[in-house]
Amino acid sequence: MYEHEFIGKIVEEVLKKITLGITLHVGDYLVGLKPKIQRVISLLNVGSDDTVHMVGIYGIGGIGKTTLALEVYNSIVHQFQCSCFLKVRENYNKNGLVLQKMLLSKIVEKNIDINSVEEGISILQKMLSKKKVLLLLDDVDNEKQLQAIAGKPNWFGLGSRVIITTRDQRLLTLHGVEAEHKYELKEFNEKDAFELVKRNAFKNEKKTDKVNTDYVHVLKRAVAYASGLPLALEVIGSHFSNRTVEECECALDQCERVPDKRIQMTLQLSFDALEEEEKSVFLDIACCFKGWSLRRVEQILHAHHSYSIKKHIIVLVEKSLIKINEYGYVTLHDLIEDMGKDIVRQESPNPGERSRLWASKDIYQVLKDNKVSYNDMDGLVFHL
């Protein structure tokens, strides 16, 4: 070949070598991640090059799935021939071509024309089957997304690893991710929660190991309010930054009265993805039945949803919106409960025109004034 073509080939190969293993920015204030990172890496079994593993990280919105996955990615990326991080939900369209093109452009470093998802699948298999790939698919909410970009392990070369984060553990099961390769990310303990909110509150300070005793009480209030949710701890901590104790108290009072928009929007993504009947069951549970036995909840809601109530509750569990504890009681995260109640509050400024009532003062006032709009109300629940 001509000399300029030969030099171009050399440059191309060198660029591939020096970009191998580039790490991604995660965040400035990381707390309590080390044991979780080690656990996920052990599930990936990175040292084994005779197979391909898919590992799923699941949990509620704002729990830190992306942060954990990125830290794991950065820890092992140097061991792979090529790598790619895809934010799936925000880049997905109905035919999946966008994700396929993004993946191919990252892996083979050139734009490839694809006319259909089926053609894209064939090209992906051809291009990736001989490569040891590290693929991070973040925020997956639809099985078709996985089918379009990581359909089967044999799409990738031996030693490849695929990390999937999702709110819906059922997607992992449907995609063939085995139970031993799933990791449920749970809320922070009190110690880590306090550390995270403290770091975000005093991020402009040179030292955050010692906190003025005047601030300790309000930080503990913030920890109690967030109930271990990292997103809430970060948001509330940022509200506290460069503020007096009194201003911090006011900011927290505001969050307790009206949920912060960033937290609300993140949590509500899971609600918005539900079918209409599933939304109705979730709002019933969030507004009125938290802490009730599953058997009793099913009995009450059976009258409206018949035997499909069991299916709806399974869906809510799979999408990390509710949990059934070891004693058979229905539970949900405090902020998810607040999210559900806020959705109902937004139906109308007048409690009598809302679909559900749960606060004793609202129930009393509506009945006293005889202002119940029965045509719009799904149920009047006396939760005393």
Quickly tell me which residue has 């909110």 as its tokens: 197
Q: For the residues 11-17, what does the mean pLDDT come to?
A: 63
For the ranges 55-59, 98-102, 229-233, which has the lowest average pLDDT?
A: 98-102
* pLDDT value at residue 17: 57
Question: Using only C-alpha atoms, what is the Rg of the chain?
Answer: 24
* pLDDT value at residue 304: 84
Q: By CB neighbour count within 10 A (0-12 exposed, 13-18 middle, 19+ buried), where does 35 fall?
A: exposed
pLDDT tens, position by position, 278-312:
999 999 999 999 999 999 999 999 988 888 999 99
3-class SS string, 267-323 = HHHHHHCCCHHHHHHHHHHHHHHCCCEHHHHHHHHHHHHCCHHHHHHHHHHHCCCCE
Q: By CB neighbour count within 10 A (0-12 exposed, 13-18 middle, 19+ buried), where does 318 fall?
A: middle
Q: Which residues of 257-271 are buried (b: 16+ CB within 10 A; e: fewer)?
A: eebbeebeebbbebb
Task: Tell me which DSSP letter residue 78 carries.
Answer: G
The mean predicted confidence, pLDDT, of the chain is: 88
* pLDDT value at residue 18: 57
pLDDT band at 20 (very low <50, low <70, confident <90, very high): low
pTM as predicted: 0.86
pLDDT band at 132 (very low <50, low <70, confident <90, very high): very high
| Domain at 3-184, CATH from 3.30.750.210, 3.30.420.40, 3.40.50.300, 3.20.20.70 | 3.40.50.300
* pLDDT value at residue 213: 80
* pLDDT value at residue 383: 43
Q: Which residues are registered as beta bridge partners of 84?
A: 135
pLDDT band at 173 (very low <50, low <70, confident <90, very high): very high
pLDDT tens, position by position, 334-351:
999 999 999 999 999 988
- CA dist 298 and 346 (Å) reads 27
pLDDT tens, position by position, 177-235:
999 999 999 999 999 999 999 999 887 665 555 667 878 999 999 999 999 999 999 99
Residue 374 has pLDDT above 90, yes or no: no
The Cβ of residue 133 has, within 10 Å, a number of other Cβ atoms equal to 24
Overall residue count recorded for the chain in this entry: 384
CA distances from 118 to 17, 105, 135 (A): 31, 17, 20
pLDDT tens, position by position, 238-254:
999 888 999 999 999 99
DSSP strand E in the chain: where?
A: 53-58, 82-87, 133-140, 161-166, 182-184, 323-324, 330-331, 356-357, 379-380
Q: What is the CATH number of domain 274-346?
A: 1.10.10.10
- Name the segment(s) of the chain with CATH classification 3.40.50.300: 3-184
- CA dist 14 and 305 (Å) reads 62
* pLDDT value at residue 109: 66
The angle subtended at Cα 77 by Cα 124 and Cα 159, nearest 5°, is 55
- CA dist 361 and 359 (Å) reads 6
* pLDDT value at residue 384: 39
- Name the segment(s) of the chain with CATH classification 1.10.10.10: 274-346
